[in-house]
């Protein structure tokens, strides 16, 4: 099964992340009601079954020439889906926009991009997968485990829970057994970037309160003002929050064809409003954005 242009076929084992760590009567699992916020709880990852043969010239983004644009008739240059580097491989685990598998309003199960349901045997068990067609341009990142020795077993994703991190020759690898070692590789797609948002600490949102006695401020032995314990400081917010549109670059995709990437890993950057959309990637929350949405960086900010 293959779609010739622009679409990957991706299989997912469930549409929503609705499981909880709680159990009810007789040990029954308690599931979360995802209907009040389906966008947040939609499963945004799956495994690639097939990749397109070609990417077409369907417009992707546009940019205007001239600042200001030419009088009354601005000229536009369009980047297209064909300008995305073809880097996804069959078997990759990919992360994509939640709308790709979010059910339509008029249905209760699947949206119009649903293809079929297939039961597959994995590690001696039957697992049901839902197959969807997903636009190449809607995929943000791919993750794969590469074998580093010929004797290693062909990697299957159900093996991931059995992998153990190891250090071999100074490189971080994953071991299944003494003969099977893998290298985990992240490939960002279509000029996408994952940024780790910079979060405030309690100290950042707290105002120290001086210690006083009979209206007189006390001082330490070195002459500095004595402050009350941190638990008694004045807090300006309910809890620490993300700093507005700032963070560290963690994963960088190949730029669109003809473009140049100006970013590097660990760079502390600022980005445009409305691009701080969160995505959970390999268990960590990041903000996702295109490279051109990064507006600047602070060179003296310490990398983390």
DSSP 101: T
Q: Please list the rounded mean pLDDT of every run of 10 residues in the chain (304 residues).
A: 91 88 81 81 94 91 54 67 94 95 80 93 91 95 93 91 90 91 94 93 90 89 90 90 92 90 92 89 93 89 68
Give the pTM: 0.86
Residue 67 CA, chain-centre distance (Å), reads 33
- Centre a 10 Å sphere on the Cβ of residue 152 and count the other Cβ atoms it contains: 17
Domains in the chain (CATH in brackets) are 7-145+184-190 (no CATH), 193-297 (2.30.33)
Cα angle for residues 194, 199, 202 (degrees, 5° grid): 165
Residue 29, pLDDT score: 82
User: 131, 45 in Cβ contact below 8 A?
Assistant: no
Residue 143, pLDDT score: 97
Q: Is 303 exposed, middle or buried (0-12, 13-18, 19+ CB in 10 A)?
A: exposed
Contacts of 131 (CB under 8 A, 6+ apart): 1, 9, 10, 11, 49, 114, 115, 116, 117, 118
């Amino acid at each position: 099964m293959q779609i010739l242009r622009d679409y990957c076929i991706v299989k997912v084992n469930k549409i929503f992340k609705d499981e909880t760590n709680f159990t009810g009567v007789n040990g029954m699992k308690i599931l979360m009601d995802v209907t009040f916020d389906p966008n947040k709880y939609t499963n945004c990852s799956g495994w690639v079954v097939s990749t397109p043969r070609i990417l077409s010239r369907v417009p992707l983004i546009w940019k205007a020439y001239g600042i200001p644009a030419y009088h009354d008739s601005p000229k536009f240059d369009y980047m297209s889906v064909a300008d995305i580097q073809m880097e996804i491989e069959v078997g990759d685990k990919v992360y994509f926009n939640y709308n790709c598998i979010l059910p339509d309003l008029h249905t209760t199960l699947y949206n119009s991009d649903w293809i079929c349901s297939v039961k597959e045997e994995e590690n001696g068990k039957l697992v049901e997968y839902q197959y969807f067609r997903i636009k190449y341009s809607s995929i943000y990142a791919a993750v794969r485990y590469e074998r580093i020795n010929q004797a290693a077993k062909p990697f299957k994703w159900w093996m991931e829970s059995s992998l153990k991190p190891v250090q071999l020759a100074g490189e971080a690898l994953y071991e299944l057994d003494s003969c099977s070692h893998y290298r985990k590789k992240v490939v960002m797609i279509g000029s996408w970037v994952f940024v780790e948002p910079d979060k405030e600490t309690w100290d950042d949102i707290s105002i120290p309160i001086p210690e006083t006695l009979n209206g007189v401020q006390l001082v330490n032995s070195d002459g500095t003002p004595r402050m009350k314990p941190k638990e008694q400081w004045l807090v300006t917010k309910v809890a620490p929050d993300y700093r507005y549109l700032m963070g560290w670059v963690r994963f960088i995709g190949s730029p669109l064809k003809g473009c140049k990437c100006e970013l590097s890993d660990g760079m502390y950057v600022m980005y445009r409003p409305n691009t701080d959309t969160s995505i959970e990637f390999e268990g960590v929350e990041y903000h996702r954005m295109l490279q051109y949405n990064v507006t600047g960086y602070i060179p003296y900010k310490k990398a983390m």
